[in-house]
Amino acid sequence: MSALLRRLRGGNLEVFKFSVYVFFPVALMIHFGDPDWYNRHVTPYKDHIFPPDSKLVTKLPTDHAALKEELAKIKARKLERIAERGNEKSDSS
């Protein structure tokens, strides 16, 4: 490495650093910005990371009564999940 730096003194070193600073990000953008690479490596994991569209809440409650109903539904679902986990633990023991 030091032999390379000794050879690249002065302006040559600056040209080398500039070319690395310019072409390294361009090479990364070309590699990772390729649509085929995205479809092979990112799209299969999208369902693991983001919930499906059917589970997304698109209509939010706007008044106080609707908000209370939605909170009651969320609490009921949470209690169901806790009860299911408790049943699974008692069945496995």
pLDDT averaged over every residue in the chain:
85
Q: What is the 3-state secondary structure (H, E, C) of the chain?
A: CHHHHHHCCCHHHHHHHHHHHHHHHHHHHHHHCCHHHHHHHCHHHHHHHCCCHHHCCCCCCCCHHHHHHHHHHHHHHHHHHHHHHHHHHHHHC
Task: Kindly state the tokens that stand for 10.
Answer: 């002065």
pLDDT tens string 43-79: 888 878 888 878 777 888 889 999 999 899 999 999 9
Which token pair is 6?
């000794």
- State residue 45's pLDDT score: 87
